[in-house]
A and B are shown apart, each in its own frame.
Chain A
Amino acid sequence: MRLINANKVSEIIKDALIKINYELDNSLVTMLKKAKDKERSTLSKSILDDILQNQEIAKSRKAPLCQDTGVAVIFVEHGLDVRIDGNLYEAINTGVRLAYDEGYLRKSVVKHPFNRENTKDNTPAIIHTKLVEGDKVTFKIASKGAGSENMSKVVMLTPADGIDGVKKLVLDTVFDAGGKPCPPIIVGIGIGGNFEKSAMLAKEAILRDLEDSSDDPLIRSLENELLAEINALGVGPMGVGGETTCLAVKINTFPMHIASLPVAINIQCHSARHLEVVL
C-alpha cells in the first residue's frame, strides 16, 4: 500500500490556498480580457479594467485578489490503494490554518450561527471525500467567497417542469442576484440526485476546467444555451448593465427519483479561485 505523509497534505493545501488567493488562472484572465473588449459602455469596460488591473497588482505584490478570501472547500478523491499516514481531516485543516496565517488571508469563519465568534484561523474547511480506484489522492482546493455563495439555491422542481423549468429557474436566479455575486460569474448547476446531492453536483461543477463542456450532448447544448440566455439578460459586470454577465455555465447531473427534478445553482464570482493537486 502506497503511503502519503500527512505533512505533505498540509503543505499542498497551504501552498494551493495561498497561490489561488494571489493569482487568477490564465484562462480566466484571457476570458476577462475578451469580455472587456466586447463591452460597449465606458462604465462596464471600466469595471472589467479594474478587475484586470487588480489581478496584475495582486500577482505582482503577492496580495490577495479580494478581501473575501473565503471558506476553504476541499474535494478529496481518495484512491483505494493509498493511505494517508495520519488524520486526513486534521492534515487539511492544518494546511488551511497555515495558509490563512502565513498568506495574510482573512479569517472569515465563525463558530456559531448566532454568537458569530470567529474561529480566528479560518478552520474548519468544508471537506468532501470520495473513494476511487487507484493509488493517488486528488485534492480539488477552493477558496469560496460569500458574496456569490449567498446568491446560490436548491429548488425541487417536478419532472414535468423539464428543461424549460430549469432554464427559467437559472435565469431568474441570475437576474435577481444582479450585481451582488460580483459578475461576470460562473454558474455551476447540479441537476438530479436528491436534495443534498444536487448541491454537491453544483459545487463540483464550478470547479471544472473553465474551458471544458459536458460530455452529454443534451447537457452540453443546455450549457451553451444558458450561457447565451444569461448574457442576454444584460446584467453585466457588477450589475451595471453590459454584454457579459456570465463567463461559463457548467452542469453536472446524476440519476434521480421518478418523482423528482432537484436543481441546485451555485454561483461563483469572477475571482474564481480553485486548483487541483494530485498526490
Chain B
Amino acid sequence: MINLTPPLNTADIKKLRAGDKVLITGTLFTARDQAHQRLVKEQNPAFSLDGAIIYYVGPTPARPGEIIGASGPTSSYRMDNLSVPLMERGVKMMIGKGDRSEAFQKAMIANNAVYMIATGGAGALLSSKIKSVKVIMYSDLGTEAVHALEVEAFPCFVAYDVHGNSIFKGGSIS
C-alpha cells in the first residue's frame, strides 16, 4: 500500500508499478467529457495543473446534509485525446476506469504521468472518502463541472505505469 499526497512529482510517479494499491489524501480535480473539451482551451484554469490529479467523475446530487452523492469513476477512454495536452501542461495522474489507447499510454510515459483505476460502480463507497467539495470551474455543466474534492485515503490502483506495465487483461488494444 502506497500513500500519496498531491501535487505529485516525477519521483512519485516513477516508483509506482501497475497493480499497486494507492491511497490518496489531498485534492482531486474532477473533469469528464465536457470539462475536458473546455480545459484544453483554457489559458488560466482555476487550479494549477502542475502535479495535479484529475478524477473522471460526474457525481449524483448531494442529499440535504451531505456534501456529495455517489462518486465512482467513469470510463477513461473518452478522454484519451484530450488528456494529452493536459499532461503536457503538468497533470501527473488521472483516475478513471477501463483501458485506454496506445497513443494515450505513449504520451503518459513521455510526460512521466500515471493512469489509475478506482473500482467502477463503487460510487457510494468512494464518496465516503470525500471530505469536502467545491465547484471551481464551469458550474453551468452541473455534474460535469470541475469540482475540487478533498479526499482522505481515496483507494485506487496503478493501471499503467511509466515503465510500460499494464494492469489489464483484455481491452481493445492489449
Residues of A at the B interface (CB closer than 8 Å) are 43, 46-47, 50-51, 53-55, 57-58, 61, 63-69, 104-108, 116, 118, 120, 147, 150, 174-182, 233-236, 238-242, 245, 269-271
A179 with B121: CB separation less than 8 A = no
Q: Closest approach, in angstroms, between the C-beta of B130 and any C-beta of chain A?
A: 12
The 4 closest A-B pairs by CB, nearest first: A178-B171, A180-B98, A235-B170, A241-B169
Interface: B67 (CB within 8 A): no
A175 with B97: CB separation less than 8 A = no
By a CB distance below 8 angstroms, the chain B residues around A66 are 70, 72, 120-123
Q: Which residues in window 45-99 of B have CB below 8 A to A?
A: 57-63, 69-72, 74-75, 77, 97-99
A176 with B123: CB separation less than 8 A = no
A104 with B72: CB separation less than 8 A = no
A269 with B170: CB separation less than 8 A = no
A63 with B34: CB separation less than 8 A = no
Cα distance, A46 to B157, chains bound together (Å): 11
Cα distance, A64 to B98, chains bound together (Å): 21
B117-135: contact bitstring with A at CB < 8 Å (1 yes, 0 no)? 1011111110110000000
A51 with B122: CB separation less than 8 A = yes
Closest partner residue, chain A, to B73 (CB atom)? A67
Cα distance, A35 to B123, chains bound together (Å): 20
Q: Closest approach, in angstroms, between the C-beta of B166 and any C-beta of chain A?
A: 10
Tell me the interface secondary structure of chain A in the complex.
loop
Cα distance, A43 to B169, chains bound together (Å): 13
Closest partner residue, chain B, to A43 (CB atom)? B19
**A-B contact count, CB below 8 Å?**
164
Interface size on B, residues (CB 8 A): 41
A147 with B69: CB separation less than 8 A = no
A147 with B119: CB separation less than 8 A = no
- Given A54-B125, A178-B98, A104-B62 contact (CB < 8 Å): yes
- Given A178-B170, A240-B167, A67-B70 contact (CB < 8 Å): yes
A177 with B170: CB separation less than 8 A = yes
Closest partner residue, chain A, to B62 (CB atom)? A104
Cα distance, A175 to B59, chains bound together (Å): 28
Q: Closest approach, in angstroms, between the C-beta of B148 and any C-beta of chain A?
A: 17
Cα distance, A69 to B34, chains bound together (Å): 18
Cα distance, A185 to B121, chains bound together (Å): 12
A179 with B97: CB separation less than 8 A = yes
A180 with B99: CB separation less than 8 A = yes
By a CB distance below 8 angstroms, the chain A residues around B44 are none
By a CB distance below 8 angstroms, the chain A residues around B167 are 43, 239-241
Q: Which of A43, A51, A108, A174 contacts B121 (CB 8 A)?
A: A51
Q: Which residues in window 140-161 of B have CB below 8 A to A?
A: 142-143, 155, 157
B122 with A50: CB separation less than 8 A = yes
By a CB distance below 8 angstroms, the chain A residues around B127 are 63
Closest partner residue, chain A, to B98 (CB atom)? A180
Cα distance, A265 to B78, chains bound together (Å): 21
B128 with A57: CB separation less than 8 A = yes
By a CB distance below 8 angstroms, the chain A residues around B70 are 58, 63-67, 69, 106
By a CB distance below 8 angstroms, the chain B residues around A182 are 97, 120-121
A104 with B61: CB separation less than 8 A = yes
Q: Closest approach, in angstroms, between the C-beta of B170 and any C-beta of chain A?
A: 4
B123 with A178: CB separation less than 8 A = no
Interface: B43 (CB within 8 A): no
17 additional contacts, CB 8 Å, given A57-B124, A57-B125, A236-B169?
A43-B19, A47-B119, A50-B122, A54-B119, A54-B121, A54-B123, A64-B124, A66-B121, A67-B59, A67-B71, A178-B174, A180-B97, A233-B169, A233-B170, A239-B171, A241-B168, A245-B170
Q: Closest approach, in angstroms, between the C-beta of A22 and any C-beta of chain B?
A: 9
